[in-house]
Amino acid sequence: MDKPVTTSAQATALACLDGIQPLLSAWTRTIFDFGETAWREYQSAAWYVERLKREGFAVEEGSGGMPTAFCAHWTNGAGPTIGMYAEYDAVPGNCQDAVTVKQPRPGLGFEAGGHTDPHSGLGMASLGGLLATKAAMQRHGIAGTLRFTGEPAEKVRGSKPIHAAKGYYDGLAGMISFHPFYMLPLCNTARWDTHCGAAYAMIYRFICDEPENWASAAGDGAPIPQAHSAVRAPGANDALMMMYMASKALRDSMLPHQGGWSISEAILTAGQATADNLPAGLAEIQYMIRVPTLAMAEQVTAVLDRNAQAAASMSGCRTERHWVSKSRPGLANHAMAEIAYGALSTVGPPHWDEAAMAIAREIQVNAGGTATENPFIDELERLIEPKEAEAILRRDLPPSQVNSTSDDYTDMSWHTPTARFYVARPALRSASGVPYPAWVMNALGGISATIDPMVLCAAKTVALAALRLLEDKTARDAAMDEFVTRTGGGVGGANWIAPLCDYEPPINFRWPEYVTTARGRDWWIPSNQ
């Protein structure tokens, strides 16, 4: 793959990013410290909205009916519209301070939210690329529009199916999607053919409306249940546990002889009587299904539906299914992959200096290991051609499997040519073959000296790719032509998969979040501190 020549506008963007790098570093730490989880990223979204308004963007807050989403626009005259986006949700149970020891952020317990991927750096790299692209467009008179969406709840593949269904990705000449690397060989490269797969997520709610009817035939007619007998009626908790165990028992049978899929569950909480003689009236369990194809998602959903109905019938409850996500598998675009990887090749891979390595050595020791001369994985500072990464990725996949792993950027790929590229995040080499504990990666994603090289490299790649689309009509047309061919005619074409979102944003469930108390900001699960 030839290394493209840097244009004067691209040179301006690179210089802009070198100039604002200290700001990007501070901003990354700000979002890291917020550590807000899915559907509850109030401070993070507000920070982005305020920043974008200061930079001259028109911002729609609460886009798509999601309070922590947004859509920002800036235009420099008639021309193509380029899409970029930020993610900023964290993960419950991963609260880690940006320090070299296992330690939650001040005032919180480990149960609070924390960045694992880290989306704090993901979103800031995209924002940096956006601002540099805008600066270059202004200086060099490049016509066009920049669209920047705020995407909450990626960890449950939440916002992008909703934004897609509501038209927020329509009319784009291209979308640039960045993610920190999360598995070798997808280190410093771009996706070629095997994009991420489909995913369904849903909440099964069990409601015990009429526990008094459970044993009505044996009742004595008393208006108040006697001898604490009402609690003997099965309630919502019983239904949930039967659902949980039945689905565990049938997991191997959900997709017989199928590979490359996973299912996970999370039990949500509900307010219930405190040790009173009443059965639980409400219980909820969430499932996330990650699969290569939609047909596989439908098959697993059918099994879960049957399990839910059976559990409800056995316990005298009723059940409801509420969608959290219905996300499509990804669509490849080689022209966009070449644009993204060409930009990454021009920038070069990230580099960690001696200060970063000294911090990494401290973490090695504090995690129970031994400090090494070069603590980082060698591949972090190497580029890998998309076709080469693709060949390695497919070694363990059956030829029939088109998609693999999980991320909801895939919904964008059915509305516009989409580039998906990866830049190395800091990761330690394991000398013993035993992986480091999760807090190590989380800390490396928050310490400025270790995460900044990824953010700056990715921001520069985003900017160069965006400017390539804006300035090079031939490259832009090639990407759109490929999109039209692969979809069988573009949006609405013979091979096009329409948005699956036929549900309202699932924002009213009891999602884990931070709360304001008389003691200050606290996590919804009380900490031991």
Q: Which of 297, 328, 359 is the last residue of a domain?
A: 328
In angstroms, the Cα distances linking 403 to 179, 277, 296, 339, 495 are 17, 50, 12, 21, 16
**254 part of a folded domain:** yes
Residue 459 pLDDT exceeds 90 = yes
Domain enclosing residue 276, as ranges: 200-215+229-328
Quick one: pLDDT at residue 190? Answer: 98
Please indicate, yes or no, whether residues 410 and 474 belong to a single structural domain of this protein.
yes
Please indicate, yes or no, whether residues 334 and 249 belong to a single structural domain of this protein.
no
Please indicate, yes or no, whether residues 30 and 75 belong to a single structural domain of this protein.
yes
**87 part of a folded domain:** yes
Please indicate, yes or no, whether residues 340 and 295 belong to a single structural domain of this protein.
no
CATH number at 303 reads 3.30.70.360
CA distance 261 to 256: 11
The pLDDT of 173-177, averaged and rounded, is: 98
Q: Which of 303, 328, 353 is the last residue of a domain?
A: 328
- pTM, whole model, 2 decimals? 0.94
Please indicate, yes or no, whether residues 240 and 278 belong to a single structural domain of this protein.
yes
**CA R_g for the chain:** 25
Quick one: pLDDT at residue 182? Answer: 81
Please indicate, yes or no, whether residues 247 and 353 belong to a single structural domain of this protein.
no
Residue 315 in tokens: 């316990």
Q: Which long-range contacts (CB under 8 A, 24 or more apart) does 14-18 make?
A: 14/132, 14/347, 14/460, 14/463, 14/464, 16/131, 16/132, 16/135, 16/136, 16/463, 17/128, 17/129, 17/132, 17/456, 17/459, 17/460, 17/463
Please indicate, yes or no, whether residues 108 and 149 belong to a single structural domain of this protein.
yes
Q: φ and ψ at 286, to 5 degrees?
A: -105, 140
Could you tell me which of 81, 455, 80 has the C-alpha nearest to residue 72?
81
The full length of the chain comes to 529
Quick one: pLDDT at residue 234? Answer: 86
**345 part of a folded domain:** yes
Residue 221 pLDDT exceeds 80 = no
Tally the C-alpha atoms within 13 A of residue 36's C-alpha that lie toward its C-beta: 21
CA distance 484 to 184: 31
Amino acid at 130: L
Could you tell me which of 261, 302, 254, 308 has the C-alpha nearest to residue 286?
308
Q: φ and ψ at 313, to 5 degrees?
A: -65, -40
Residue range 364-410, pLDDT digits in tens = 999 999 999 999 999 999 999 999 999 999 998 999 999 998 899 99
**528 part of a folded domain:** no
Residue 341 near residue 237 (C-beta atoms within 8 A): no
Please, what is the average pLDDT of the chain?
Answer: 93
CA distance 17 to 305: 50
Amino acid at 176: I
The pLDDT of 12-29, averaged and rounded, is: 98
Number of domains the chain is built from: 2
Please indicate, yes or no, whether residues 244 and 339 belong to a single structural domain of this protein.
no
Residue range 97-156, pLDDT digits in tens = 999 999 999 989 999 999 999 999 999 999 999 999 999 999 999 999 999 999 999 999
In angstroms, the Cα distances linking 236 to 203, 246, 251, 287 are 14, 15, 22, 17
Helix (H, G, I), strand (E, B) or coil at 50: helix
**220 part of a folded domain:** no
**348 part of a folded domain:** yes
Could you tell me which of 124, 122, 123, 138 has the C-alpha nearest to residue 13?
138
Please indicate, yes or no, whether residues 439 and 422 belong to a single structural domain of this protein.
yes
CATH number at 88 reads 3.40.630.10
Residue 412 pLDDT exceeds 60 = yes
**520 part of a folded domain:** no
Please indicate, yes or no, whether residues 324 and 336 belong to a single structural domain of this protein.
no
CB atoms within 10 A of CB 271: 8
Residue range 350-366, pLDDT digits in tens = 999 999 999 999 999 99
CB atoms within 10 A of CB 123: 26
CA–chain centroid gap for 58, Å, is: 25
Sort strands 145-151 and 81-87 into parallel, antiparallel or unpaired. parallel
Give me the percent of the chain exceeding a pLDDT of 70: 94
CA distance 511 to 507: 8
Q: Which of 307, 328, 349 is the last residue of a domain?
A: 328
CB atoms within 10 A of CB 333: 28
Please indicate, yes or no, whether residues 287 and 410 belong to a single structural domain of this protein.
no
Residue range 46-78, pLDDT digits in tens = 999 999 999 999 999 999 999 999 999 999 999
Please indicate, yes or no, whether residues 347 and 473 belong to a single structural domain of this protein.
yes
Residue 352 near residue 426 (C-beta atoms within 8 A): yes
Quick one: pLDDT at residue 322? Answer: 97
Tally the C-alpha atoms within 13 A of residue 39's C-alpha that lie toward its C-beta: 15
**71 part of a folded domain:** yes
